[in-house]
Amino acid sequence: MNRTLTILFGVVLLSTVACSGGSLTTREKGAGIGALGGAAAGGIIGAAVGHPGAGAAVGGALGLGAGALVGDQLQGQDIRQADQQKQINTNQAELERQRRELDELKKQREY
């Protein structure tokens, strides 16, 4: 019983560490957190009914899917916010360019 949980936790931990060679995306972080949380909750529930390994496996799989979905939504929001900020910066640069042109035109009229 404890050996199954230890092996499952080791596999999840090893896969998480192996995937972290580069920087993890928000989706990957959500999937990892969901898998670990789901495995822990599933193991606890499974232990109550006498099957902690099966509970951890099912909980881990469900947590992985749910965490990936949540992470995907968060990553989509991050991308949309970055796109909006880029547009804001572009608009500010254009406004600044137009202000400079307006100032130059005002100076030319003064002479």
- Residue 16: the pLDDT is 59
- Residue 46: the pLDDT is 85
Tell me which long-range contacts 55-63 makes (C-beta under 8 A, separation of at least 24): 56/4, 56/5, 56/8, 56/9, 57/8, 60/8, 60/12, 60/35, 60/36, 61/35, 62/38, 63/34, 63/35, 63/36, 63/37, 63/38, 63/39
- Residue 21: the pLDDT is 57
How many other β-carbons are positioned within 10 Å of the β-carbon of residue 7?
12
Tell me which residue range forms the domain holding 42.
2-110
- Residue 72: the pLDDT is 92
pTM metric for this prediction: 0.63
Q: In the predicted model, is pLDDT for residue 20 greater than 60?
A: no
Average pLDDT (16-43) is 80
DSSP labels, 81-107: HHHHHHHHHHHHHHHHHHHHHHHHHHH
Domain count for the chain = 1
Q: What is the pLDDT of residues 50-94, one digit of tens each?
A: 888 888 888 888 888 899 999 999 999 999 999 999 999 999 999
